[in-house]
A and B are shown apart, each in its own frame.
Chain A
Amino acid sequence: MTLKELVKKVFFLEILQGMALTFKMMCSRAVTIQYPKQRRRIYAGFRGRHALIRDPKTQKEKCIACMRCANICPSQCISIAKKKRPEDGKPYLAQYDIEALRCIYCAYCVEVCPVCALVLTEEYEYSAYTKEDIYFTKERLLENWDDFAAKQKEETYFNKFWRPDGLDHSKMVKGKREQLPVSTRPVIAQPESVPESPQGNEKKETD
Chain B
Amino acid sequence: MNELLSAFGLQQSVDFLLQLLIIIVKIAVVVSITMLHVAYATYFERKVIGHMQVRVGPMRVGPHGLLQPIADGVKLFFKEDIIPANADRAVFQIAPFVAVFATLSSLAVIPFFDLFYIANINVGVLYLFAMSSLAAYSLIMSGWGSNSKYAFLGGLRSTAQVVSYEIAMAFSLVSIMIMAGSMNLIEIVQAQQQYWYGMYLVPQFVAYIIFLIAMFAETNRTPFDLPEAESELVAGYFVEYSGMRFALFFLGEYIGMIVMASMAVVCFWGGWMAPPILIELIPPLAMVPGIVWFILKVYFHIFLFYWVRATVPRYRYDKLMSLGWKILIPVALANVVVTAFVKYIF
CB <8 Å contact, B52 and A32: no
CB <8 Å contact, A15 and B54: no
Q: Please choose the segment from B75-83, B84-92, B304-312, B333-341 that sits at the chain A interface, where 4 or more of its residues have CB less than 8 A away.
A: B304-312
CB <8 Å contact, B56 and A22: no
Interface residue? B61 (CB, 8 A)? no
Contact with B along A5-28 (1 / 0, CB 8 A): 000000000010011011101101
CB <8 Å contact, B54 and A28: yes
Q: How far is the CB of A78 from chain B (nearest CB, A)?
A: 38
Interface residue? A194 (CB, 8 A)? no
Q: How far is the CB of A203 from chain B (nearest CB, A)?
A: 51
> Which residues of the partner chain A approach B311 to less than 8 Å between Cβ atoms?
15, 18-19, 21-22
| B52: contacting residue among A15, A22, A29, A34, CB under 8 A | A22
Interface residue? A1 (CB, 8 A)? no
Interface residue? B326 (CB, 8 A)? no
Given known A26-B48, A34-B59, contact A19–B308 (CB-CB < 8 A): yes
> Which residues of the partner chain B approach A15 to less than 8 Å between Cβ atoms?
311-312
CB <8 Å contact, A23 and B56: no
Interface residue? B55 (CB, 8 A)? yes
Q: Give B312's nearest chain A residue, CB to CB.
A: A15
Q: How far is the CB of A65 from chain B (nearest CB, A)?
A: 48
Q: How far is the CB of A5 from chain B (nearest CB, A)?
A: 15
CB <8 Å contact, B312 and A30: no
CA separation between A137 and B50, bound complex, in Å?
Answer: 43
Contact with A along B95-121 (1 / 0, CB 8 A): 000000000000000000000000000
Interface residue? B149 (CB, 8 A)? no
Q: Give A17's nearest chain B residue, CB to CB.
A: B311
CB <8 Å contact, A25 and B53: yes
CA separation between A171 and B59, bound complex, in Å?
Answer: 53
> Which residues of the partner chain A approach B312 to less than 8 Å between Cβ atoms?
15, 18
> Which residues of the partner chain B approach A128 to less than 8 Å between Cβ atoms?
none
Chain B, 21-52, CB within 8 A of any chain A CB: 48, 50-52
> Which residues of the partner chain B approach A25 to less than 8 Å between Cβ atoms?
51-54
CA separation between A177 and B56, bound complex, in Å?
Answer: 47
Q: Give B60's nearest chain A residue, CB to CB.
A: A34
Interface residue? A31 (CB, 8 A)? yes
Sample (20) of A-B pairs whose CB atoms are under 8 Å apart: A15-B311, A18-B311, A19-B308, A19-B311, A21-B311, A22-B307, A23-B52, A23-B307, A25-B52, A25-B53, A26-B48, A26-B51, A26-B52, A28-B54, A29-B54, A30-B55, A30-B56, A31-B54, A32-B56, A34-B56
